[in-house]
């Protein structure tokens, strides 16, 4: 689910109202700075996850122009992950500093700050310290800003939106906040969302709220509350859902194939013929693989297992 939530969080942070999002997440950050752009970091993968990119790196400029440009790395996690998250973020921040120039062909580098946003859970480990006891004066310390969204008040966020202190883009995040499952908060959310004149944004608020409600195990109450609400589906969120279903199906196939092959090897105690392995690897029907798994559990020999397969599967 992480990749699906990555897309939703990046879209909610960048596309609805980037400055409004930063103002809510990090109060005061834009008092003397402005969000100039979101940095292109597509060439830099997150450490240990070569298929994942953090594309929420905000480029900040100081109002006076006398302070060097800054890069603010904002990494979203579906849940608090402790020390591994800090290690990954520290390594990524160093790569941003080293590999992303302020301008092409110039040696100037961004001053880099890091923010860890946990959509669910609370980060117990907040500081990464690398130090050898033999070198007491040598220390590497990494301390990002940490935002555990479930500790932030949903009621306070809605009051801020109603008073104009916060952007309506914060509506997308309400299901993740403290009290985000309460009926009174959801009803107030609907009233505020209805004040949005842009129909596309209203659709995005609702669709993203459902995505985040799912992450917080609050999807049922939010889906029920939004039934019949006059809003069109968000095409981009529907595309993410379809992509997520496809990824989930592919992962399910891979897991079931691996379980079946492991079961056959353990039950039968021998290497499997190459053609049988290929048949299993090429099977794309979860129900069929599930039936084959049951057959493997019952088979006393490889020959008995193959005999129980349909003719098209056992090479006959």
Residue 158 counted as domain residue: yes
Q: How far apart are CA 11 and CA 56, in angstroms?
A: 9
Residue 311 CB coordination number (10 Å): 7
Q: How many domains does the chain have?
A: 3
| Average pLDDT value for residue range 97-108 | 77
pLDDT surpassing 70 at residue 140: yes
Residue 113 counted as domain residue: yes
> Where among 233, 257, 273 does a domain terminate?
233
Q: Six-digit token pair at 85?
A: 């998250």
pLDDT digits (tens, 9 = 90+) for 9-31: 999 999 999 999 999 999 999 99
Looking at the fold, whether 107 and 9 belong to one and the same domain comes out as: yes
Looking at the fold, whether 143 and 164 belong to one and the same domain comes out as: no
**Of all residues in the chain, what percent carry a pLDDT higher than 70?**
88
| Average pLDDT value for residue range 213-229 | 91
Domain range enclosing 53: 2-151
Q: Any residues with CB less than 8 A from the CB of 85 and at least 6 apart, and which? A: 75, 77, 116, 123
More confident residue, 79 or 298: 79
Looking at the fold, whether 62 and 31 belong to one and the same domain comes out as: yes
Mean pLDDT over the full length of the chain: 86
| R_g of the chain, CA atoms, integer Å | 25
pLDDT at 316: 40
Looking at the fold, whether 118 and 22 belong to one and the same domain comes out as: yes
Looking at the fold, whether 89 and 161 belong to one and the same domain comes out as: no
> Where among 116, 151, 186 does a domain terminate?
151
Residues recorded for the chain: 316
pLDDT digits (tens, 9 = 90+) for 177-212: 999 999 999 999 999 999 999 988 998 999 899 999
Query: Could you tell me the pTM of the whole model?
Result: 0.75
Q: How far apart are CA 215 and CA 117, in angstroms?
A: 14
Residue 90 counted as domain residue: yes
> Where among 122, 151, 180 does a domain terminate?
151
pLDDT at 2: 58
Looking at the fold, whether 7 and 147 belong to one and the same domain comes out as: yes
């Amino acid at each position: 689910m992480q990749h699906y939530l990555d897309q939703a969080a990046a879209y909610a942070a960048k596309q609805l109202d980037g400055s409004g999002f930063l103002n809510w997440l990090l109060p005061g950050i834009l008092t003397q700075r402005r969000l100039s752009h979101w940095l292109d970091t597509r060439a830099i993968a997150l450490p240990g996850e070569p298929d994942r990119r953090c594309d929420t790196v905000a480029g900040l400029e100081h109002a006076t122009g006398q302070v060097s440009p800054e890069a603010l790395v904002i990494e979203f996690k579906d849940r608090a992950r402790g020390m591994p998250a800090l290690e990954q973020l520290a390594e990524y921040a160093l790569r941003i500093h080293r590999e992303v120039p302020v301008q092409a062909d110039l040696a100037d580098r961004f001053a880099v700050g890091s923010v860890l946003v946990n959509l669910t859970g609370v980060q117990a480990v907040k500081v990464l310290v690398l130090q050898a006891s033999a070198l007491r004066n040598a220390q590497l310390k990494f301390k990002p800003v940490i935002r555990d969204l479930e500790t932030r008040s949903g009621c306070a966020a809605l009051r801020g939106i109603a008073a104009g202190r916060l952007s309506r883009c914060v509506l997308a995040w309400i299901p993740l906040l403290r009290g985000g499952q309460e009926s009174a908060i959801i009803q107030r959310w609907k009233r505020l969302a209805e004040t949005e004149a842009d129909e596309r944004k209203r659709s995005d608020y609702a669709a993203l709220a459902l995505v985040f409600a799912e992450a917080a195990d609050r999807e049922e109450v939010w889906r029920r509350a939004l039934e019949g609400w006059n809003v069109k589906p968000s095409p981009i969120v529907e595309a993410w859902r379809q992509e997520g279903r496809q990824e989930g199906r592919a992962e399910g196939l891979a897991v079931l194939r691996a379980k079946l092959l492991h079961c056959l090897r353990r039950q039968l105690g021998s290497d499997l013929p190459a053609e049988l392995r290929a048949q299993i690897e090429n099977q794309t029907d979860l129900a069929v693989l599930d039936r084959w798994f049951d057959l493997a559990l019952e088979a006393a020999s490889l020959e008995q297992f193959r005999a129980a397969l349909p003719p098209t599967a056992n090479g006959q």
